[in-house]
Amino acid sequence: MNKKVLLQDLALKDYKETWDYQEQLFQNTLKLKIKNRREEAGLETPNHFLFVEHPHVFTLGKSGDLSNLLVDEKQLAEKGATFYKINRGGDITYHGPGQIVGYPILDLDNFFTDIHKYLRLLEEMVILTLAEYGLKAERSKGETGVWLDVGTPFARKICAMGVRASRWVTMHGFALNVNSDLGYFDLMIPCGIKDKAVTSLNVELGKAEVDIEEVKQKLLRYFEQLFEAEIIKQKTEV
């Protein structure tokens, strides 16, 4: 039987507000799991999937190096960008308009208890989606996310990933560049990896703009297949 996953599309939303909302959903699921364990309550834990676009923002993971941000607070403000240290894995990442950010808040006890499998399936979802646009996307050994032309001097990242998990409940997720302003990536060393470029779907296709809603639907279709899930669209609550 397919697992139900509740989908909300938050459109363009502030990073901190979205982070707080993620944390709320995450903590609610953790509380249910603790209650089930202590009281054998048998309560069903929900699974969520948030789509969002953020205004320009840089985020640094708990193991990240601040020196990978190449500008100071004043320069960030001039670029209309904000900065947050956050509790996911990974180094520094940029989010901005034209990028699909996905935050699955899943209880992996409902699927499988394997965080590496979880990350690989998220990568596969993106790889299969990009294949529909004629791109051969791949994993790069030792580097989470999705890349093009791996193993060549032209290797470039198109999708970043970073997650947090506690008691097999996940938060944070992936960021796929669709119509991104790649100039913002010059303000940092993406994911702390030097000498590798970043790209966007519209650039790879030679288009001014790609239909972002179409890309979202493809991602969801592959998510359902790979996770054996049923996406249920909800009204946005925040």
Which residues are designated catalytic? Answer: 191
Torsion of Cα atoms, 65 then 71 then 75 then 77, to 10°? -20
**Maximum distance among all alpha carbons in the chain?**
57
Q: How far apart are alpha carbons 59 and 101 in whole angstroms? A: 13
Report how far residue 68's alpha carbon sits from residue 58's, in angstroms, rounded to the nearest whole number: 11
Residue 195, number of CB atoms within 10 A of its CB: 7
In this structure, the strands spanning 99-105 and 143-148 are unpaired
Tokens 């982070």 found at: 19
* Angstrom distance (rounded) from CA 42 to CA 119: 28
* 92-95, strands of its sheet edge to edge: 82-85, 57-60, 92-95
Please state, in angstroms and rounded to a whole number, the distance separating the CA atoms of residues 208 and 192. Answer: 28
Tally Cβ neighbours within 10 Å of residue 7. Answer: 18
Spatial CA neighbour of 84 closest among 3, 146, 155, 162: 162
